[in-house]
Structure 1
Amino acid sequence: MRVVFIGASSLAVKTAQLLIRRGHEVVIVERDKEVIDDLSGQLDCAFVHGDGSKPAILREVGPSQTDILYCLTGRDQSNIIASLVGRSLGFERVVTKIEDEAYEHICIELGLEDTIIPARTIGRYLADMAEGQDILELSAMIRYDARVVSVVVHEKDAVTVAELDLPATARAVCLYREEKLILPDGGTKLAKDDELILLTRRTEVNNLVERFRIPPPENDEGGSSPAGA
């Protein structure tokens, strides 16, 4: 497996170390030459000096030859931009790290389905551990071709769950509204900005993400803007 990291953060370095030990190919893109010089003696991997949010730099690392692109810089905005550029260039899988939870809805709306918030994940794990629970057991329950998808509800989808017209292989598992958990049934009315969690098959993930993508803006006459306008 070939993995590219944007940013040589502590999280990126630790993950890279583990992957290298397991025999995987790793490339780290870092804009600070001093950081590269320091890490080159510690990590047996390739380095690219440059801004990982720039298309030219991402093309240089080879999107078609890369299995995962990790965007793990210290700036949420840079990670989001790098993720969008990476996806547009054809990276098979893009993982986006954010620290500010305010960006989570934006990432979901942009279709960045592999978004991680390290502090929240670790915090929940430690809190659950204190109560004798193990949230990592959940990962063992999502097996074979089952996938969980998180989408944001827009105005056009503010209907009941039954009226969503979901694929036969997709089910609404739960939704989050104003930091509250709701377990929906067919009659549950969705509201704009709800975060809806769907259980589906792997083959339906892209279709569902596209289905709930932000609607295109309308022109002054109220219709869709013409191509090339």
Structure 2
Amino acid sequence: MRTALIGSNSLTLSTAELLLEEGHEVVIIERDRNRIDVLSERLDAGFVHGDGTLPDVLRDAEPENTDVLFCLMESDQINILAGLIGRSLGFARVVPRVNDPQFQRIAAELGLEDTIMPNRAVAAHLSQMLSGGKSLELSSVIRGNAAIFSLIAKASEKGPIDNLKLPERTRIVCLYHDEQFYLPREVKALKTGDELILITSHQQLPELEQRFERGEAGDQLKAD
């Protein structure tokens, strides 16, 4: 898989290092030439010099040959802008980092459904540690033919949660509603922008991807 990442902050570099360890091709888009010179000594990655929010620079990253564009900079606005430009240029999938819940809703309305919220993920992990719980990696508990699929509810999914007809062997595990964590039985109706986490079987993924317009690169975790 070929991935492109904008910027060179700690999250971007940690992601790049993990992807390289797993054998993926990585391209980093960085505006600071001196920074590129330093990183090229450290990482076996390709580099594009320039501002990652400019179309001409993103074209140099070869969107037609790239599976994912990660926009992991500190600014939510810049990440959303870069994601929209990247999508318009033909990147198969764009993944913007969003820290502020209000921008997460805006990103969903703009069709940028593959947003990530690192602050919320870390906060949930720390909260679980303080309560005495033990956090488990999904890959350690999702086995066999099981898969995890996530989606952001669109306007067409608004309304009673029971109206969301899901394929066989597919259930809602949890959801984030008004930016709060809930179990399915605790929410009567979905709103646009609600995030749902589903557990399903691998055979149901194509139907889910087609229905929710996620494409082959939709958010999913398949068991080994």
Instruction: Report the TM-score range of the alignment, normalised by the length of the smaller protein.
Output: 0.7 to 0.9
Q: Residue type of the partner of 2:182?
A: L
Give per-residue Cα distances to partners, 1:153-185, cap 9 Å, x unaligned. 53x654323444x35356544444333625249
CA distance in structure 1 between the aligned counterparts of 2:197 and 2:24, rounded to whole angstroms:
32
Helix, strand or coil for the counterpart of 1:150? strand
TM-aligned CA distance change 1:145 to 1:180, over 3 Å = closer
C-alpha displacement at 1:28, in angstroms?
0.6
In structure 2, the residue matched to 1:112 is 112
Aligned residues: 206
Deviates more, 1:1-10 or 1:59-68: 59-68
Aligned residue number for residue 195 of structure 1: 194
Q: CA deviation at 1:3?
A: 1.8
Partner of 1:67: 67
Alignment of 1:113-192 (within 5 A): 113-142=113-142, 144=145, 146-152=147-153, 154=155, 157-164=157-164, 166=165, 168-169=167-168, 171-178=171-178, 179=180, 181-184=182-185, 189-190=188-189, 192=191
Query: What 5-or-longer segments of structure 2 have no aligned partner?
Result: 215-224
Give yes or no for contact 1:66–1:91 (8 Å, CA) kept in 2. Answer: yes
Work out the CA distance in 2 between the residues paired with 1:94 and 1:32: 23
Whole-angstrom CA distance in 2 between matches of 1:86 and 1:177 = 28
Question: Scaled by the length of structure 2, what TM-score is found?
Answer: 0.75
- Aligned-pair CA distance for 1:84: 2.0
TM-score (norm 1): 0.73
Question: 1:171 & 1:110 partners in 2: Cα distance?
Answer: 27
Contact (CA 8 Å) 2:159, 2:191: kept in 1 or not?
no
Q: What do you get for the CA RMSD once the two structures are aligned?
A: 2.9
Secondary structure of the structure 2 residue equivalent to 1:95: strand
SS of 1:108 mapped into structure 2: helix
**Inter-partner Cα distance in structure 2 for 1:66 and 1:77:** 23
1:205 to 173, 197, 209: 209
* Shift in alpha-carbon separation, 1:162–1:181, aligned structure 2, 3 A: closer
Q: Percent identity?
A: 42
| 1:80 alignment partner AA | I
Letter in 1 for 2:44: D
Change (3 A) 1:13 1:192: closer
Structure 2 letter corresponding to 1:208: F
**What residue is the counterpart of 2:56 in the other structure?**
56
Tell whether the 8 Å contact from 2:174 to 2:181 is kept in structure 1 after alignment.
Answer: no
Look up the equivalent residue of 1:205 and give its one-letter code: E
Q: Distance in 2 between matches of 1:121 and 1:176?
A: 12
Cα offset for 1:76?
A: 1.2
Return the index of the structure with the highest Cα Rg: 1
- The CA deviation at 1:142 is 4.8
